[in-house]
Amino acid sequence: MNQIKVGTSVRKKKKIGSNQILLFVFHAIVILFAIMCLYPLLLAIGVSFTDETFVIKNGYRVIPGEFSLAAYKIVLGSLGKNIMNAYSVTIMVTVLGTLFSLLVSSAMAYVLSIKEFRPRGFLNLFLYIPMIFSAGLLPWYIMCTKYYHLTNHFYALILPATLNVFNVFLLRNFFNSIPDEMAEAAKIDGAGYLKIFSIIYLPLGKVGLVTVGMFYALSYWNDYYLALMFVTEQKLYPLQYYLYNMLANVQFMATQANQSLGYNISVPLETTKMATICITIGPILLLYPFAQKYFTKGVIVGAVKG
């Protein structure tokens, strides 16, 4: 290492140039990637505010060639009720699901963190095995529909997704980091496990609970898999599933718009699709800055702790 020092002063002047070029390239690529991530959203917004015939003739543009609120009139007007319904389903599912998931997960995580509980190892394995061996879609689907009768029930959108074992392990690790002395002290005061859990571990584990809560909330909010499997009645469609039907099924969208109007009008298909997408993205983008902090921190902790 020391030999290189001789002659560095001459080389250094040239190397600074190459450093700057590289840094510039890095900036460019990173900014380009960020734009690539943003562009699709801008496209959706732009098209949603464009006149339909313009889109058909000239294509999809970020900046509306011909401004029009027609798509939004339909989305907020005739589709409005159905979208509101889908929104309320999703909000209910997300709120109730997240609370339920947190409760069940943290309880299990707590049990897994108690060192003197011998069956702990078995329970860890018991939770871990489904992560590496799964029966697959077919048996699961038959079980849920034919034997558990989940079809078209509200809790079908929550129950199968309640437990994410990865999250349970994450919480377990959080609880493990809470010093044992606290539980010991409480035990001396005569507290049972339930009390220790609710009065000590839950409050102390708040950070972990919020992080895992956000993970669960995001997966409930974005879920359309469960609806795809179990929901056929439109009043139970969650938001993403409603959107999926709008996008995948032109018939669906046409009947949606005609329902409230009662007569056959031509629906501006493409711009309505984009407007619906924008309405769907809204909440996520609003909550995003707030959630981002917790997410990135949580993911890093989770990844590091394995």
Give residues 149-188 in contact with other proteins (rule: CB under 8 A): 159-160, 162-163, 165, 168
Q: Is 292 in the site for other proteins (CB under 8 A)?
A: yes
Kindly identify the residues of this chain, within the stretch 10-69, that bind other proteins according to CB under 8 A: 11-12, 15, 18-19, 22-23, 26-27, 29-31, 33-38, 40-41, 43-44, 47, 55-61
C-beta of 83 vs 108, nearer to other proteins: 108
The 10 Å Cβ neighbour count of residue 182 is 14
C-beta of 70 vs 229, nearer to other proteins: 229
Kindly identify the residues of this chain, within the stretch 210-239, that bind other proteins according to CB under 8 A: 218, 222, 224-225, 228
Residue 237: CB partners within 8 Å, gap ≥ 6? 85, 86, 89, 227, 231, 245
The string of DSSP letters for 17-29 reads HHHHHHHHHHHHH
Q: Is 206 in the site for other proteins (CB under 8 A)?
A: no
Candidates 91, 96, 99, 107: give the one binding other proteins (CB under 8 A).
107
Candidates 70, 76, 91, 124: give the one binding other proteins (CB under 8 A).
124
CA distance 292 to 304: 18
Rg (CA), the chain: 26
Q: What are phi and psi of 138, to 5 degrees?
A: -60, -60
Q: Is 305 in the site for other proteins (CB under 8 A)?
A: no
> Least distance to other proteins from the beta carbon of 181, Å?
16
The 10 Å Cβ neighbour count of residue 199 is 13
